[in-house]
Structure 1
Amino acid sequence: MASVVKKANPFENIPSIKAKALGINLDSDIYGTFAEIGAGQETARHFFRSGGASGTIAKAMSAYDKDFSDAVYGIEDDGRYVTQSRLKKMLSHEMKLMEDRLSREKHPKKLFFTYANTVATIDFAKKYKGHGWLGIKFQLHPDQKEYDEIVLHVRFKQTEARLQQETLGIVGVNLIYGAFFKHDKPKKLLKYLYDHIDKDTLEIDMVNFSGPNFKDVDNRLMSLQLIKNDMTEAVMFGPDGNNLLPAAALYKKNILALRGSFRPVTKVNMDMFQKSYDIFIREQTVEEEKTIVIFEITLSNLKASGEIDEQDFMDRAELLCSLGHTVMISKFQEYYKLVEYLSSFTKLRLGLTMGVNNLVDVFDEKYYRHLSGGILEAFGKLFFKDLKVYLYPLKDQETGQVLTSNNVKVHPRMKELYKFFKYNGKVMDIIDYDPDILHVFSRNVLKRIMDGDEGWEKELPEGIAEVIKEKNLFRRKPAEIASE
């Protein structure tokens, strides 16, 4: 008789949800409130059921009715309820009540916390999958005046409201447990949010840490962890370094995206951006106040020797943020996947700024062999929407010839397909480019920085060289990275 192979239990060494809730309840110092809107009191339920909740839960409430919720937390400017702004108001309001109603003299050792969520589960027609905001405001020392805070956004992938509610409850317990017992390891805390949850059931696409105990946490790096750990497909952060929710930042916007390594960002990158932006906002359907520009880096571009080099990522992020730009990190190697993703948030104009080499790659069949419809399927997704490609020229380093959409060479089998899109106005040349900088390539500048050469400074935008020198960015050579 064949022996039975015992499968490893992925949760074998992970405390159960009941054990986590009980661990919080049995800690006599931890004391707080639960405020949950839109998906039941699923998180509080775990704490009530595990036992010993009377010493932990000061109050649990669910302001389901919109009018009642507005009376408690105020009315949002946009009239919505499932927003980060709403969550923040809930956290602040409930924490103030804790402070007002509990005497510190009577409870000198209590560690106050407030957990809140505002969630919309899947609708009856199953048209909208459901999403929500959840967060915790808490203290790790009784005399801590400024509270720590963790806020995250989730998207549900399950197709039943009951299952989404159960998942939300588990995430809530994991967040509260992680805040008190794993706060010193924020990267691991993110991973623990998925304890007892299948990643196919939930996406976490934004997280922000703030407060005195997270002062050394860079939220851009936390953003990278979400991508690295397969928690989401794309993340965004603004010039201030705080993470943005893509759905909110891109909603009903005209979007211009520039893909690159930006290692480092050069004068060519900035010329591509400025010249394509000038064309983009002159498009008849584009309103400048409803337009956002994204500097996008693919996850594969961040990998050195097969692994993601976090310091190298931070170096690039530092420079782009210093120039005041919004950055997206995505898992989309092919452009059509990026366009598909962006199109899920807006029906307005999309623009892609790319160099000639990138355009040649777009028309290379090898990138689409996994699709049943091949390159035609990909192009249907890429150019079906209101999209244009803004093409920056390339100077052939050997012949000196400047390559544009008119003389670029694609595979012979792709010539007719290329002509179709070009002459239908989907590809537009950037003609007012700066000819004096066409020799500049990021990889060459990077090598000179790493080698300690001189003269590379003039090939970068104003102020960037000073940032690189001041913060000693890009100083490590690939061999040093690979040896780590």
Structure 2
Amino acid sequence: MEISLKGDKEFDEIPSIKTKALRINLNEHIYGTFAEIGAGQETVRQFFRAGGASGTIAKAMSAYDKDFSDAIYGIEADGRYVTEARLHKMLDHEINLIEERLIREKHPNKMFFSFANTVTTIDFAKQYKGHGWVGIRYQIEPDQEYSEISLHLRFKENDARLQQETLGILGTNLIYGAFYKYNEPKKLLRYLYDHLDKDQLEIDTINFSGPAFKDVDNRLMSLQLVKNGMTDAVMFAPDGNNVLPARVLYKKNILALRGSFRPVTKVNMDMFHKSYDMFIKENKVDIEKTQVVFEITLSNLRAEGEIDEQDFMDRAKLLCSLGQTVLISNFQEYYKLVEYFSQYTKSRMGLAMGVNNLVDIFDEKYYRHLSGGILEAFGKLFFKDLRVYLYPMLNDDGSLTNSENLKVHPRMKELYKFFKYNGKVIDITDYDQNNLTVFSRTVLKMINEGEEGWEEMLPEGVSKLIKEKSLFGCETEETFRNE
């Protein structure tokens, strides 16, 4: 049995929220529960108001009181309620109740679902805008295992009532998309903003799982969030799943490395290891609370024109294989990256970079859009508790460029000296001399042209993975053996 997708062509007029809710209600096979905590029963309200809800809604509840919530779903180890763990406990509990209370033999064609959210809206003092977790666990065939979509949102509106209405619209879009656009997850993502504006909310994490999404890579869905302007930055863990940046970065010492990683080379990893060794020796750095982030900017992904999703996935797979946490951001300028980190931590941060990157930071052309120009940017960058760990550059004549002899624009010379001699820029001295001639673009060119010797420029195991997975246009290992 399949759910009809007729009448949902990409260029059709966007159906109203009432139309979406009514279409779900009138589908005799869709049946489930709504559990909403913290912002009222805003999603299920849309389905009640649309009419015909008796065939769809088995139960609607809001365990608003914390004691009642704990009695139903259990107590979280961290004592918090607006968390991903809480959302999954809610979905587990509610789906189990459906399966326990309804006899499958009596409902052979029903596709069960449970929609849940745990949300906090803006506080009275308007200091905290509010955020929440929203998810649906559901079937697209009666006898199939459950699939799931879960996401994290941040409110941008300054009124609790408006945030509640936004939540109700988003929830309806999610349920509708889950049933009628599950086979086109990229479109499903965009349709989450039907009748909403990006000034109303930000979606910074989303994960798809289960049989309906067996071919979906959540790293690629992360990229879509940034690409579609739904958020400025997304993060995924070494296991490939999207993770909430706030959870990973909260009160951490952060060391970030920006690069193309196309592919990741020995120089990238040498820069990481040497800067990390220096970073954790800082007085204000707690090794137990240190988070390393490999960052790729959207502008870097667009360097060759339109974003090549396969190329992005190749980079992502390599970094994940090395056990790294990856951030995809829309921050072309470093000060924006540091500002972003500063939302989550006041602890010391570090940026590891090469000479060319530091020279670019002191280029005024990147700050013409700021009323305060480069001084405003540097106020946001260097007046944080920040260190730059500088990896040297080998010149054509065999000499080295480091923080002591790099050249910036004459107008920037005194500004550079100020930050350099106040300990904001520190040279990486214990580097591997052999890596100074390694460049990602050279490796990529050699791979594409079938040249030999590029394997020696990459970290252990990376070349094998490139061949096995045919990354960056490389011939497969089997082809190599047959030649």
The one-letter amino acid of 1:141's match is E
Residue in structure 1 matching 2:471, options 470, 473, 479: 473
Q: For residue 385 of structure 1, report the CA deviation from its aligned partner.
A: 1.1
Q: Quick check: 1:353–1:389 contact (8 Å CA) kept in 2?
A: yes
2:353 corresponds to? 354
Residue 116 (structure 1) aligned with residue 102 (structure 2): no
- What's the CA shift string for 1:9-62, capped at 9, x where partnerless? x99701110000000000011000000000000000000010010000000000
Alpha-carbon distance between aligned partners in 2 of 1:327 and 1:304, rounded to the nearest angstrom: 19
Alpha-carbon distance between aligned partners in 1 of 2:200 and 2:237, rounded to the nearest angstrom: 28
The one-letter amino acid of 1:210's match is S
Q: Quick check: 1:32–1:113 contact (8 Å CA) kept in 2?
A: yes
Alpha-carbon distance between aligned partners in 2 of 1:445 and 1:412, rounded to the nearest angstrom: 35
1:406 corresponds to? 404
**TM (normalized to structure 2)?**
0.95
- What's the CA shift string for 1:308-329, capped at 9, x where partnerless? 1101000100100000000000
1:166 corresponds to? 165
Alpha-carbon distance between aligned partners in 1 of 2:40 and 2:94, rounded to the nearest angstrom: 18
1:100 corresponds to? 100
The within-5 A match list for 1:438-457 is 438-457=436-455
Alpha-carbon distance between aligned partners in 2 of 1:373 and 1:35, rounded to the nearest angstrom: 48
Alpha-carbon distance between aligned partners in 1 of 2:51 and 2:331, rounded to the nearest angstrom: 46
Alpha-carbon distance between aligned partners in 1 of 2:65 and 2:288, rounded to the nearest angstrom: 34
The one-letter amino acid of 1:237's match is F
The one-letter amino acid of 1:457's match is E
- Secondary structure of 2:473 counterpart: coil
- Secondary structure of 1:58 counterpart: strand
- Secondary structure of 1:438 counterpart: helix
Alpha-carbon distance between aligned partners in 2 of 1:286 and 1:376, rounded to the nearest angstrom: 27
Q: For residue 248 of structure 1, report the CA deviation from its aligned partner.
A: 1.0
Q: Quick check: 2:466–2:474 contact (8 Å CA) kept in 1?
A: no
Q: For residue 349 of structure 1, report the CA deviation from its aligned partner.
A: 0.9
5+ residue gaps, structure 2: 1-9, 476-483
- Secondary structure of 1:21 counterpart: helix
Q: Quick check: 1:270–1:461 contact (8 Å CA) kept in 2?
A: yes
- Secondary structure of 1:458 counterpart: helix
Q: Quick check: 2:297–2:329 contact (8 Å CA) kept in 1?
A: yes
The one-letter amino acid of 2:93's match is H
Q: For residue 202 of structure 1, report the CA deviation from its aligned partner.
A: 0.8
2:417 corresponds to? 419
Number of equivalences: 466
Q: Quick check: 1:11–1:196 contact (8 Å CA) kept in 2?
A: no
Alpha-carbon distance between aligned partners in 1 of 2:297 and 2:70, rounded to the nearest angstrom: 41
The one-letter amino acid of 1:99's match is E
Residue 329 (structure 1) aligned with residue 331 (structure 2): no
The within-5 A match list for 1:341-380 is 341-380=340-379
1:7 corresponds to? none
Distance change >3 Å, CA 461–CA 221, structure 1 → 2: same
2:478 corresponds to? none
1:127 corresponds to? 127
Alpha-carbon distance between aligned partners in 2 of 1:306 and 1:160, rounded to the nearest angstrom: 40
Distance change >3 Å, CA 452–CA 12, structure 1 → 2: closer
2:6 corresponds to? none
Q: For residue 84 of structure 1, report the CA deviation from its aligned partner.
A: 0.2
Q: For residue 259 of structure 1, report the CA deviation from its aligned partner.
A: 0.2
Distance change >3 Å, CA 137–CA 25, structure 1 → 2: same
Alpha-carbon distance between aligned partners in 1 of 2:189 and 2:402, rounded to the nearest angstrom: 45
Q: For residue 304 of structure 1, report the CA deviation from its aligned partner.
A: 4.7
The one-letter amino acid of 1:265's match is V
The one-letter amino acid of 1:97's match is L
Q: For residue 305 of structure 1, report the CA deviation from its aligned partner.
A: 4.2
Distance change >3 Å, CA 304–CA 408, structure 1 → 2: closer
Alpha-carbon distance between aligned partners in 1 of 2:302 and 2:447, rounded to the nearest angstrom: 19
Distance change >3 Å, CA 126–CA 12, structure 1 → 2: farther
- What's the CA shift string for 1:158-212, capped at 9, x where partnerless? 0000000000000000000111110000010000000010111110000000001
- What's the CA shift string for 1:204-250, capped at 9, x where partnerless? 00000000121110000000000000000000001000001111111
The within-5 A match list for 1:155-194 is 155-194=154-193
1:6 corresponds to? none
- Secondary structure of 1:205 counterpart: strand
5+ residue gaps, structure 1: 1-9, 478-484
The one-letter amino acid of 1:166's match is E
1:38 corresponds to? 38
Residue 54 (structure 1) aligned with residue 21 (structure 2): no
Alpha-carbon distance between aligned partners in 2 of 1:264 and 1:331, rounded to the nearest angstrom: 20
Q: For residue 475 of structure 1, report the CA deviation from its aligned partner.
A: 1.3
The one-letter amino acid of 2:215's match is D
Alpha-carbon distance between aligned partners in 2 of 1:341 and 1:221, rounded to the nearest angstrom: 22
- Secondary structure of 1:307 counterpart: coil
1:223 corresponds to? 222
- Secondary structure of 1:105 counterpart: helix
State percent identity of aligned pairs.
Answer: 76
Q: Quick check: 1:11–1:195 contact (8 Å CA) kept in 2?
A: no
Alpha-carbon distance between aligned partners in 1 of 2:357 and 2:105, rounded to the nearest angstrom: 66
Alpha-carbon distance between aligned partners in 1 of 2:209 and 2:287, rounded to the nearest angstrom: 32
- Secondary structure of 2:203 counterpart: strand
Residue 234 (structure 1) aligned with residue 222 (structure 2): no
Q: Quick check: 1:109–1:142 contact (8 Å CA) kept in 2?
A: yes
- Secondary structure of 2:471 counterpart: coil
- Secondary structure of 1:308 counterpart: coil
Alpha-carbon distance between aligned partners in 2 of 1:36 and 1:235, rounded to the nearest angstrom: 25
Q: For residue 437 of structure 1, report the CA deviation from its aligned partner.
A: 1.3
1:284 corresponds to? 283
Alpha-carbon distance between aligned partners in 2 of 1:172 and 1:366, rounded to the nearest angstrom: 43
Alpha-carbon distance between aligned partners in 2 of 1:426 and 1:52, rounded to the nearest angstrom: 64
- Secondary structure of 1:341 counterpart: helix
- Secondary structure of 2:472 counterpart: coil
Range 467-476 or range 168-177, more displaced: 467-476
Q: Quick check: 1:236–1:244 contact (8 Å CA) kept in 2?
A: yes
2:381 corresponds to? 382
1:27 corresponds to? 27
- What's the CA shift string for 1:361-403, capped at 9, x where partnerless? 011111111111111100000011110000000001x211111
Alpha-carbon distance between aligned partners in 1 of 2:134 and 2:212, rounded to the nearest angstrom: 19
Q: Quick check: 2:447–2:474 contact (8 Å CA) kept in 1?
A: no
Q: Quick check: 2:251–2:344 contact (8 Å CA) kept in 1?
A: yes
